[in-house]
Amino acid sequence: MKAIFLRVALDTPLDTLFDYRCVLSTATDKASIPYIGQLLVVPFGRQELVGVIVDIRESTDVPENKIKDVITVRTELTPLLPDWMALVQFAADYYQRPLGEVALPALPKNLKAIKPVSLQRNLKKLAKISTTNNVQPTAEPDLNAEQQAAVDQITGASGFAANLLFGVTGSGKTEVYLQAATKVLARDEQSQILILVPEINLTPQFESHIRARFPGVMLSTLHSGMAEGERLLHWLAAHQGQARIILGTRLAMLASIPHLKLIIVDEEHDPSYKQQEGLRYSARDLAIWRARQLNIPVVLGSATPSLESWQGAQSGRYRQLNLRERAVKNAVLPVVKIINLEREKPSDGLTPRLISSIKLRLEKGEQSLLFLNRRGYAPVLACDACGWISQCTRCTANLVLHKGDHRLRCHHCGLEQRIPRSCPTCGNIDLQPLGRGTQRMEESLAAIFPDAKVFRIDADSTRLKGSAAAAFERVHDGDVDILIGTQMVAKGHDFKRLTLVAALNPDAALFSQDYRASERLFAQLMQVSGRAGRTAQKEGGNMSEVLVQTRYPDHPLYHALMAHNYEDFAKDLLLERQQAQLPPFMYQALLRAEAKELQQALEFLQQAAACQTHIGITINDPIPMTMTRVANVDRAQLLVESASRPALQAFVKEWIITLRSFKSRVKWSIEIDPVDI
Ligand code: ADP
Ligand code: ZN
Ligand code: ZN
3-state SS, one letter per residue, for 83-106: HHHHHHHHHHHHCCCCHHHHHCCC
Higher pLDDT, 512 or 456: 456
What's the confidence (pLDDT) of residue 464? 85
Query: How many other C-beta atoms are found inside a 10 Å radius of the C-beta of residue 361?
Result: 21
| Res. 130: pLDDT tops 80 | no
Of all protein residues, the one whose alpha carbon is nearest to atom 2 of ligand 1 is: 173
Single out the residue of 541, 505, 548, 543 nearest to residue 526, CA to CA. Answer: 548
What's the confidence (pLDDT) of residue 538? 66
Q: How many degrees, rounded to 5, is the angle at CA 98 between CA 628 and CA 663?
A: 55
**Residue 234: which H helix or E strand, with range?**
helix 228-239
| Res. 563: pLDDT tops 70 | yes
Contact 173, 165 (CB under 8 A): yes
Residue 403 dihedral angles phi and psi, to the nearest 5°: -75, -40
**Type of residue at 260:** L
| Res. 480: pLDDT tops 60 | yes
What's the confidence (pLDDT) of residue 269? 96
**Residues 445, 446, 449, 451: is their CA dihedral positive or negative?**
positive
| Res. 539: pLDDT tops 80 | no
**pLDDT digit string, tens, across residues 591-632:** 999 999 999 999 999 999 997 678 899 999 999 999 999 999
What's the confidence (pLDDT) of residue 492? 74
**Type of residue at 429:** I
Is the pTM here over 0.85, yes or no? yes
Average pLDDT over residues 634-651: 96
Q: Which atom of ligand 1 is nearest to the CA of 167?
A: 3
The percentage of the chain sitting over the pLDDT mark of 70, rounded to a whole number, equals: 96
Residue 55 dihedral angles phi and psi, to the nearest 5°: -155, 155
**pLDDT digit string, tens, across residues 394-414:** 999 999 999 988 999 999 999
C-alpha–C-alpha distance, residues 437 and 125, integer Å: 45
Instruction: Give residue ranges with CB within 6 A of ligand 1.
Output: 141-144, 147, 167, 169-175, 327-328, 494, 534
Q: Which atom of ligand 1 is nearest to the CA of 496?
A: 14
Strands 72-73 and 39-44, by their bridges, are antiparallel
Mean of per-residue pLDDT scores for the chain? 92
- 175 C-alpha vs ligand 1 centroid, how far in Å? 6
What's the confidence (pLDDT) of residue 638? 97
Q: Label residue 46 exposed, middle or buried (CB < 10 Å: 0-12, 13-18, 19+).
A: exposed
| Res. 512: pLDDT tops 80 | yes
Confidence of residue 583 (pLDDT cuts 50, 70, 90): very high
Contact 605, 622 (CB under 8 A): yes
Helix runs in 38-172, H state only? 82-94, 99-103, 119-126, 145-156
Measuring CA to CA, how many Å separate 294 from each of 79, 81, 89, 260, 328? 18, 12, 15, 8, 35
Mutate to test the pocket of ligand 1, among 328, 491, 498 (most ligand atoms within 8 A of CB): 328
| Res. 278: pLDDT tops 90 | no
Q: How many degrees, rounded to 5, is the angle at CA 93 between CA 89 and CA 98?
A: 80
Mutate to test the pocket of ligand 1, among 169, 299, 321, 494 (most ligand atoms within 8 A of CB): 494
**pLDDT digit string, tens, across residues 345-370:** 999 999 999 999 999 999 999 999 99
- Characterise 478 by phi-psi region: left (phi > 0), alpha (psi -120 to 50), beta (else): left
Average pLDDT over residues 313-331: 93
Confidence of residue 542 (pLDDT cuts 50, 70, 90): low
What's the confidence (pLDDT) of residue 535? 81
What's the confidence (pLDDT) of residue 184? 97
Q: Which atom of ligand 1 is nearest to the CA of 171?
A: 3
Contact 468, 457 (CB under 8 A): yes
Q: What is the DSSP string of 508-533?
A: GGGG-SSTTHHHHHHHHHHHHHTTSS
Contact 304, 526 (CB under 8 A): yes
What's the confidence (pLDDT) of residue 225? 87
- 538 C-alpha vs ligand 1 centroid, how far in Å? 18
Nearest ligand, CA of residue 400? Answer: 3
| Res. 545: pLDDT tops 70 | yes
**pLDDT digit string, tens, across residues 131-140:** 555 667 778 8
Confidence of residue 121 (pLDDT cuts 50, 70, 90): confident
| Res. 117: pLDDT tops 80 | no
**pLDDT digit string, tens, across residues 16-28:** 999 999 988 766 6
Confidence of residue 31 (pLDDT cuts 50, 70, 90): low
- 417 C-alpha vs ligand 3 centroid, how far in Å? 11
Single out the residue of 232, 231, 227, 257 nearest to residue 244, CA to CA. Answer: 257
| Res. 74: pLDDT tops 80 | yes
**Residue 192: which H helix or E strand, with range?**
strand 192-196
- 111 C-alpha vs ligand 1 centroid, how far in Å? 39
C-alpha–C-alpha distance, residues 138 and 508, integer Å: 44
- 17 C-alpha vs ligand 1 centroid, how far in Å? 49
Higher pLDDT, 647 or 542: 647
What's the confidence (pLDDT) of residue 157? 82
Single out the residue of 108, 80, 102, 78 nearest to residue 90, CA to CA. Answer: 102
**Type of residue at 209:** H
| Res. 523: pLDDT tops 90 | yes
Confidence of residue 543 (pLDDT cuts 50, 70, 90): confident
| Res. 202: pLDDT tops 60 | yes
